[in-house]
Amino acid sequence: MELSLVWFILIAVLWIGYFILEGFDFGVGALLRIVGRDERGRRVLINTIGPLWDGNEVWVITAIGATFAAFPDWYATMLSGMFGPMLAILLCLIVRGVAFEYRAKGDTDKWRANWDLAIQVCSWGPAFLWGVLFGNMIYGMPLDEAGEYTGGFFGLFGPFPLLLGLLTLGLFLTHGAIFLALKTRHEVRDRAKAFAERAGVGTAVILVAAAGWLQLERGNIVTALVSVLALGALVAGVVATKAHRDGWAFVATAGAILSVVVSWFAAMYPNLIASTTNAAWSLTVQNASSSPYTLKLMTWVAVVMLPFILAYQAWSYWVFRKRISAQQIPLPQLAAKVQG
């Protein structure tokens, strides 16, 4: 197998890891004032992801860094052509991180309410925009002979990218609610389960529409099979939630996200970004890759470093594996610093 194809697959794996891990993270943030209805409830939600959210972002940093090194033309077109949405995502990630840290620094309800709103808005935004960005890369963009995007800002928000934006938003909300059901107790868990059941059904409808459109535009046998798997996994997640099997429900929605991202990369291949102006101007795995020497060096670095990163993250999840309840957060400690 050529190293350019190996790195195309590895970058897909990095995005799968990011969407599964940061997906529930975004979902919890987006549900902050919906599932956590009072100060204790919101503290429970934040504490479920407090020790984990910053580690989850390592995946997107690695994915974008690997794209820059392995496919510099893809990186350049993606960052320059989709600069507006990418900047919005970056700002949301920064503000969200600041909000987690600063929320506990003040002692007034208004102070906490403002930071809660920041967390919520900056969770909904990236959850939607990542789907929009991938929708453009899958559907294709107007690229010139040099591989530069020639459309305007609003050209990025066509019907197909918007549909994929709704899909990622729905998947992350469902995944996040199921994570909360797995990690909390009592009334917070009950509200999370109820939301997960409703969101899962709505997301399944969006998934059917998005998979059907994907199949018409860029479909093949692989995309058809994994789209069916994605729908089956999402339905299994809803059924497991109803049956109070929270662990299996979380595994199922993780499987749904995995299958969706696999279908996207399978639909893109051999292109990285298809040119809707002229097919010959598309960026492909072959014409946009770095030199064989660079790819070989990257492969050795990945072989050495990846096991350490995976081991550290697995250890973090094991240490913070216990459930949390509102009763564990005494009122006098509400202003205490968030865990992590």
176 is a domain residue: yes
Please compute the mean of the pLDDT values over residues 153-170 and round it to a whole number: 95
Q: To 10 degrees, what angle do helices 3-30 and 39-49 make?
A: 160
Q: Which CATH number do you get for residue 289? A: 1.20.1630
Question: Could you tell me what percent of the chain has a pLDDT over 90?
Answer: 66
Q: How far apart are CA 17 and CA 33, in angstroms?
A: 26
63 is a domain residue: yes
Q: How far is CA 242 from CA 36, 184, 306, in A?
A: 20, 16, 37
Q: How far is CA 45 from CA 30, 97, 148, 257, in A?
A: 10, 15, 42, 22
Position 309 scores a pLDDT of: 82
Residue 261 tokens, joined: 């991202």
Residue 133 tokens, joined: 């960005």
pLDDT class of 330 with cuts at 50, 70, 90: low
5 is a domain residue: no
326 is a domain residue: no
Please check the confidence at residue 147 and state whether its pLDDT lies above 70. yes
Q: How many domains does the chain have?
A: 1
DSSP class per residue in 98-159 = HHHHHGGG--SHHHHHHHHHHHHHHHHHHHHHHHHHHHHHHH-B-B-TTS-B-S-SGGG--H
Please list the residues that pair with 283 across neighbouring strands: 273
pLDDT class of 210 with cuts at 50, 70, 90: very high
212 is a domain residue: yes
Please compute the mean of the pLDDT values over residues 61-73 and round it to a whole number: 92
Q: How far apart are CA 16 and CA 161, in angstroms?
A: 18
Please check the confidence at residue 332 and state whether its pLDDT lies above 80. no
- Total-model pTM: 0.91
214 is a domain residue: yes
Quick: pLDDT tens for 91-135. Answer: 999 999 999 888 888 888 899 999 999 999 999 999 999 999 999
Quick: pLDDT tens for 12-62. Answer: 999 999 999 999 999 999 999 999 888 888 999 998 998 888 888 889 999
Position 340 scores a pLDDT of: 45
The strand ranges marked E within the chain are 271-273, 283-284
Please check the confidence at residue 145 and state whether its pLDDT lies above 80. yes
335 is a domain residue: no
Q: How far apart are CA 32 and CA 36, in angstroms?
A: 5
322 is a domain residue: no
Q: Spell out a b/e string for 77-87, using b for 16 or more CB atoms within 10 Å of the CB, else e.
A: bbeebbeebbe
Residue 113 tokens, joined: 């309410």
- Domain coverage including residue 286: 14-294
